[in-house]
Structure 1
Amino acid sequence: MTETVSGAAQVARQRGRGKGLKVERVFSTEGVHPYDEISWERRDVVQTNWKTGDTVFEQRGVEFPDFWSVNASTIVTTKYFRGAVGSDVREWSLKQLVDRVVKTYRKGGEDNGYFASPADAELFEHELTWLLVNQYFSFNSPVWFNVGTPSPQQVSACFILAVDDSMDSILNWYKEEGFIFKGGSGAGLNLSRIRSSKELLSSGGTASGPVSFMRGADASAGTIKSGGATRRAAKMVVLDVDHPDIEEFVMTKAREEDKIRALRDAGFDMDLGGADITSVQYQNANNSVRVSDEFMRAVEEGTKFGLRARKDNAVIEEVDARELFRKIAVAAWECADPGLQYDDTINDWHTNPETGRITASNPCSEYMSLDNSSCNLASLNLLKFLKDDDTFDAPLFAKAVEFIITAMDISICFADFPTESIGDTTRDYRQLGIGYANLGALLMAMGLGYDSDGGRAMAGAITSLMTGQSYKRSAELAGVVGPYNGYARNADAHKRVMRKHQAANDAIRSVHSHDRDVHALATKAWDSVIKTGEKNGFRNAQASVLAPTGTIGFMMDCDTTGIEPDFSLVKFKKLVGGGSMQIVNQTIPRALKKLGYQEEQIEAIVEYIGDKGHVIDAPGLKLEHYEVFDTAMGARALAPMGHVRMMAAAQPFLSGAISKTVNLPESASVEEIEDVYMQSWKLGLKATAIYRDNCKVGQPLSDGGSTAKQGVADKASAAAAAAEVKTVVVERPVRKRLPKSRPSRTTSFTVGGAEGYMTAGSYPDDGLGEVFLKLGKQGSTLAGVMDAFSMAISISLQYGVPLETYVSKFTNMKFEPAGLTDDPDVRMSQSIMDYIFRRLALDYLPFEKRSAMGIYTADERQRQLETGSYEAAAEELPEAESLIGTTNDGPAEGAIAPAKPVSVESASVHEAPKGVHTSAELMEAITGTAVDSPLCFTCGTKMRPAGSCYVCEGCGSTSGCS
């Protein structure tokens, strides 16, 4: 770490600046310490291993405000309290944690001339303390980890590195990344300066190219991650679209994903964090292509595009722009990488072009600035500023922004950095990243749809006010302690960008009274930015980003993270003393009241949502209000362009960009991904990433089978239909019982040393109709659970649930016992369920269906090695009559029996959600939570998305973002 450089107070005096800030009391109460305004309670924090039940963390008697959730106190205790557990120096109260941080910030402000008097410094301390303990905002995780401890005072979560076309620079890249990963942060860089594999070295040989060097960096990141960190290393790799190796770069992760599938099907553990995933390359980085306006116009026009040598910029190859764009979309369809970064848009909003271009971003793409720089983040909890009359308290929000920006700038005065060059750049340009969380919950509580003109206008106005107020305070700070060191050479460009933000604010068209007042205050803020900035300059080159807010979002008890919509309408709440309960989001009753519903109606709608997980056909809920309750997943999932349009509403008011993934259903086409990337460019986004459900083996995210948006896409016609009472024919599945005497097959098996027996009974026409499993002693809990499971599967099969549905859901399920089996066709198994349904697939599914799922017999795998094909030659095939799954006159295996029509005097009768066949799918439909989402490395809880990462609601661990 480099040493802290101080002395801002001396510089300010030399320049004849002001005498310090006069701090206004806004939040705290005069004569009362913020701690004394709230009630505190003691709690026990105990975490157990999700596999073994062993206690992995225990700290009893920790102290938190009584309104903090159990989840929030658990995350803070396990993540942020410092000192060895059980020792005298271990922190045990939130007061100690907040004091450790806030008092360090106060001292930094006093030492560097920020405050007019000691009284102002004390008031600043109280205001900041009040905001933190009342969950109005939070600093990013490195602040809680490091500030006020003997550790280096690293406060930044986001880093951008640089690498040149030399071996010294490449090796230094590995080293610098390693130190950043060790400290729990992430880094990004652009590799486009490295010569391509199509260019010559000075010695006459051919260059290796950037993709080859990515392997070494990826291995380094994976090693550091496995050396004790609780999450994967976070990194971003960017390559310019005109680099000659761009096609190889585009396909790297897609090809590796093919390997992952092949290894998974061979029985290897390829889940996120699995034992065998480390054998696959490029899994520790997000990849992005940096595209230019020239390239995007060539895609539109269908013309050629030149790939250029790194040394002399000469065109060494021309490619069809549309074909290259198509390859990018195909790769993203296959594995979610690469995303796009729009270079000309990014640099058009750059405040420091005289210093250098912006070439890269941090791992989540929200921080974009100079090479060898870092950014300190903090996020506000928007729902805290919603008043009792359901209007947004814009003046209070603006005051909070002032305090937070001041604190963030002070942190740069005492912060340490992982390299000298990063420290120099950060102190010279003082980049900050204020942002917010809980936008989705705020809009719902205000009765505004996320994908609506009103929702976007509100989000745009809030974002404009946040950034305008931040730069206003930055200009005021410049009058006290001086502008950033790089301001003089970039003054004209910085002021030009401020005018661009102001023009974007003036272009906001208010939709409701909700956003009109916020927009008016934002307009005043931008007027002050221009006037005060002209006089004083600015203290900070950048002010705002929208980060994922994973762990800190839980610390603030936010319902939604960053700019994201609500994930689902039903969540699991952790209870004091252990356990959890399923509850309907508490924002929903408030939203319904705002929309004009009475208490009795609200109770009925909430009860319906708790049962179904969605609002479709909720009693008394008007069709025009459905959009208010649209979510990222589940029955009424937002359309992909709904995400893009929301990002476009906020982007013109951010110094940086937005960490967010555009979710697409599994059925999405390559053309839809192309459209998302193209429209993102046209709408002025700086970066876009997509995720298609189930496109990755290691970290799948299912869209959840549910009743979706059927019947409500055309709201006008749906409303007319709902008003009309008519006879509706509802098709119901009919149970097809097995005959008294039926053929069956009994299989003994061993999985990881555990022995069991499976008996499968079938219809005379050869379709599977029942499964019986015997494990453990008769009368034991395990035997009882397996009996119940067998009964549920058997009845479902008889009602027509296809066997392949179960095979797709239960194969690759991982839990103990697992390991070697005694079955030559299934040599390795990740669990008993994995084995059972692979065996059933081999016994009862035709080759075409199971081969699509990668399930083959030992003979078929051997045949593929010898001939290149799994299929037998024609002369090897058995007679058609004996093929599994073929029938003469009965229904095929798993077919649904003919439905009986039912006459119902209602227009709103629904059976189980369409596409829902299993209990697993039903759970997805109810909660919107992916049943096959990645498991948390720490506690085993299913994770959920936060920006372009995943975050655990149980313990706060993330898959790569702070």
Structure 2
Amino acid sequence: AGAKHGFRNAQVSVIAPTGTIGLVMDCDTTGIEPDFALVKFKSLAGGGHFKIINQAVPTALKSLKYSQKQIENITEYALGRGTLKGSPSIGHKALREKGFSDFEIDKIEAALKDSFDIRYIFSTSVLDVDFCKEALGLSSEQIQQHGFDLLPIIGFSEQEILEANIFCAGAMTLEGAPHLKEKHLAVFDCATPCGRTGKRALSAKSHVMMMAAAQPFISGAISKTVNMPALATIGDCQNIYDLAFDVGLKSIAIYRDGSKLSQPLNSAVFDDASLNELDDVMAQPQARRTEKAAEKIVEKIIERIVEKPTERERLPDRRTGYIQKASVGGHKVYLHTGEFENGRLGEIFIDMHKEGAAFRSLMNNFAIAISIGLQYGVPLEEFVEAFVFTRFEPSGPVIGNDRIKFANSILDYIFRELGVSYLGWDDLAHVNPDESTPDQLGQGEAERSPGPGQTGEQLFLPGYSKGFNRVATTDENVVPFAQKAANQPEADELDLVLDEGNMSEMDTNLVAGSGLGGASTVSSASTARFQGYTGDSCTECGHFTLVRNGTCLKCETCGATSGCS
């Protein structure tokens, strides 16, 4: 059908000459896509890596009539020897003169085999910090400094380091290799300059012309990246697109070397005082440019962090809060809270045991540490997540708290209470205030409704935090209004009718904010939630959130089961 009526939105053949495909084919290059570099690092599945040279290099050298000994010398120049033994600049003798022992030299030699830069071997990841301090005389400030480079510090020059790198890790390029003739260098050109000292590379135009040679024989496009140097301009990119159009290419992709770090390399990182440094960096190979740019970026980030230290937020002298008394495993615990003016928790005090007891002192100091953290801006959520579910004695049933009925430790109880009161994390509580359980105290309906002969005083809770307001109404925590209701309701009325005309504006606001005004009844949704749980506590986390799961029980909080599901 396609041959008869023609094809639409379909291609007979395309080429994807990527490096990945070449790797699967065990080829260094598919031809249209030149090799990215002569020396590459292959990662191993079990960890580590090793260097490999383009497998076509020895074959090409042999075709160019080089002897086997010359081929070995050229390959050794590119790959390196993997040792500093016999190095003319930084050898074993030079290291011993600097204070290195045979033990330290052996450690360095073991790490040099697959290294690509000896600078990374002469670091605290290989050498002990104590050795650097005692034998080499370095200070802690020098060792901890960002970009720590040991070799220049102990007296080796950049030229000596470069020579040692070429001797040990290889030049990763054939430029400057012994025995190799200048006229043969073009045979080994790659997509980008190779190694630290390489300067030769295929031009962007040559990439396009290679694609143009194959395009007439392919109905579709050629998926290939045209590599451009880091100094390429927008105009250079435009010229390549124009050339691709002129030679009849159907698609083209351009990648400018180091483009992901092009912005940090400008004056935003290198200020006016370091323009000379910028020129030096841009003249170096890409790997060194990237390293320098990363150092500049890290320096600027660190400077901004140090410029604005966190300040401690002080609480007002007269502060609000609440006191919660409870017993955890038979041990009385008094939790005092202090709040900022906006109601946010700012400090806690924990009282338990007799004066002078060691555990009491520990808890007091722990509370001070938490309070300082809160005042320096540490979110309460972080403390709650860190200390909830901590397990140590005393632990057990909690008596005196209307929401929490079991705690794994004192800290578990304290931060459950704070999480419920200040964060609204009701999942940390064992009792929902809306649940109608047999032992529920209710919402104080009977206390709010005046009986026969009563004056109709309005009762309210003057709480400033949820931790106080959530407590059920009792005779010990209610305060009567000074103003009386003008019309007294009958005893059988469910709701208390308030005469706002006889109350001040402040009293009206207090009633509205007390959370107990109006006809508060158990909603159908709350009843459904109540019927969904069995009422038993979880043996793992202590929550009363067990539900039936077949013939077993499953905790919806921690996921624990009774063992048969």
TM-score between both structures, scaled by the size of structure 1: 0.18
Q: Which entry has the higher C-alpha Rg, 1 or 2?
A: 2
Q: Which has the higher contact order (CA 8 A, sep 6+)?
A: 1
TM-score between both structures, scaled by the size of structure 2: 0.30
